[in-house]
Amino acid sequence: MSYESPIRDQLVTGGKTYRDVTRDVTRPLENAPSKSWWIGFSISTLVLALWIGATTYTVFVGLGAWGLNKTVGWAFDITNFVFWVGIGHAGTLISAVLLLFRQKWRMSINRSAEAMTIFAVICAASFILSHMGRPWVAYWPIPLPNAFGTLWVNFNSPLVWDVFAISTYFSVSLVFWYIGLIPDIATVRDRAVSKARKFWYGFFAMGWNGSTKTWHRYEVISLILAGISTPLVLSVHSIVSMDFATSLVPGWHTTIFPPYFVAGAIFSGFGMVLTLLIIAREVMNYKDYITEAHLDAMTKIVMVTGTMVGMAYITEFFVAAYSGVEYEQYAFLNRAFGPYWWAYWTMMTCNLVAPQVFWFKWARTTPWFIFIMSIIVNIGMWFERFVIIVTSLHRDFLPSSWAMYTPTITEVSILIGSFGLFFFLYFLFCKFLPTINMAEVKSIIPTHHEDHGHNHVKGENHAN
């Protein structure tokens, strides 16, 4: 768009120049880490150690280390898996869907959101590996030719679809993230003073020289990748939902699952983006890049997706009542008023009720409040998966086999530990890579050269 209405919010405030952007973003990379970084990184590493310990214990002992029983054969592991995959979705939405929608406010947040996607998918994958019980045969879900005998994977199984969906998602996200990083890595390379920095950043910059031609290619490939990623935002969690929805289990088999899981994934993803960015803008002093207008837009998305998810809860409940199928009806009554009622109402409160505060402007622009809300959202979304999975299983068709599920310390440790893994990777990312897309942010800085094309503006400033 060559013209912007004066009533729109300024996306970068504080009168930043191109030079300021480069300086602000590369500061953490070029200086010794701050004290707060060391504290955060050390805690994450400790928690990561907990994850390593608990996962190793599981591998040695076997799944007996978990609280599963023959009725509830899938609980914490798959809850955590779905939880982490969901977290990743906001990154893809911000980088792909918002790119297609020409939402320029995505430019200062997309980098960390995409990094978050990748780390979240790594965390999710770790649960798939550990819940296999024998992680050394983890390549079995891959349809390899008959070298192992005549057995093939069951292509009719949504679990196999999942393997494809998640690995596609991971690879496309990684490529997208990396392509976006190249111009910025080149900037870091050009500013490098030590030989090692020059070599490594130079290696990953892949010879980027900032010419018009490279920028043109960059924009075209970004658009193509956005086009490929957009269906992935929908397909990945749709297929995750089919792990449940293709079954016959009341509470699982319902046609609204695919879009409802996608909405929930974006909801929880934005929760996590907000958690990370509110810390980042405080600690790294990025308040002029991640402005109140950004928080306002993101909290609106949280509210919309939270309400969509809430609508799905109500729809499911209604249709169960309407269906006249007594098993469906019981499954939902059991959810809301059975032994796991507290989980259900936590989910309802956190996901449907709590986000309604974002109708108020104050709530949408007050960082400490949004921070608390972002954590509430993620608690709610974790409980959503727990509710769906455990309450549908624990009272199955035979009342004689009804059971309760309680996680063991090992399972809880793996869950807590996975946050260690996530933040460990995130802290490393903050130290070694630019957390804000400098090149793109420079294109939206208020400038007097409005008639110049974006390419031109980027081209002359990439190496400042």
Partner 1 sequence: MEHAEVHIKEEKFEISSGNKKWAFGLMIVGFLLAVIGYFTYHPHIEGLNEHDLHHLTQKRLWSNLLVNGYFFFIVSICAAAFIAISQIANAGWYVAIRRIPEAMSEYTLIGGPILVIVSLFALPILYHWAHEGIMNPESANFDAILAGKSWYLNVPFFYVRMVLFMSFWMFCAHMFRKYSRKEDLEGGMTNYTKTYALSATFTVIFGFTFSMFSWDQMMSIDAHWYSTIFSIYNFATGWVSALTIMYLFTHYLRSKGLLNIATDEHQHDLGKFMFAFSVFWTYMFTAQFLLIWYANIPEEVAYYKERLFGSYQFLFFFILVLNFCVPFFIFMRRDWKRSRKVGYIVGAALLLGHWLDVYLMVMPGSMNLATLPTAENPGGIIKVPFQGFGIMEIGFLCLFAGLFLWMTLKALTKANLYPTKHPYIMESALHDVGV
Q: Which residues bind partner 1 (CB under 8 A)?
A: 1-5, 7-8, 100, 102, 219-220, 223, 231, 234, 238, 242, 245-248, 253-259, 307-308, 311-312, 314-316, 319, 321-325, 451
What is the amino acid identity at position 65?
A
For residue 95, the minimal CB distance to partner 1 (Å) is 16
For residue 34, the minimal CB distance to partner 1 (Å) is 36
Could you give the CA distance from residue 323 to residue 252 in angstroms, rounded to a whole number? 15
**Nearer of residues 245 and 350 to partner 1, judged by Cβ:** 245
DSSP 287-305: TTTS-HHHHHHHHHHHHHH
Could you give the CA distance from residue 301 to residue 314 in angstroms, rounded to a whole number? 20
Where do runs of H (alpha helix) occur along 192-256?
195-204, 212-245
For residue 85, the minimal CB distance to partner 1 (Å) is 18
- The C-alpha torsion from 297 through 301 and 304 to 308, rounded to 10°, is 170
Q: Are 392 and 251 in contact (CB under 8 A)?
A: yes
**Nearer of residues 235 and 408 to partner 1, judged by Cβ:** 235
Could you give the CA distance from residue 83 to residue 269 in angstroms, rounded to a whole number? 9
- The C-alpha torsion from 375 through 381 and 387 to 393, rounded to 10°, is -130
For residue 236, the minimal CB distance to partner 1 (Å) is 13
Q: Are 353 and 297 in contact (CB under 8 A)?
A: no
Could you give the CA distance from residue 321 to residue 330 in angstroms, rounded to a whole number? 9
Sorted by sequence, the CB contacts under 8 Å of residue 40 that are 6+ apart come out as 423, 427
**Nearer of residues 316 and 396 to partner 1, judged by Cβ:** 316
**Nearer of residues 38 and 397 to partner 1, judged by Cβ:** 397
**Nearer of residues 112 and 437 to partner 1, judged by Cβ:** 437
For residue 107, the minimal CB distance to partner 1 (Å) is 14
**Residue 44: both structure tokens together:** 């994450």
**Nearer of residues 6 and 149 to partner 1, judged by Cβ:** 6
**Nearer of residues 39 and 325 to partner 1, judged by Cβ:** 325
For residue 235, the minimal CB distance to partner 1 (Å) is 9
For residue 3, the minimal CB distance to partner 1 (Å) is 4
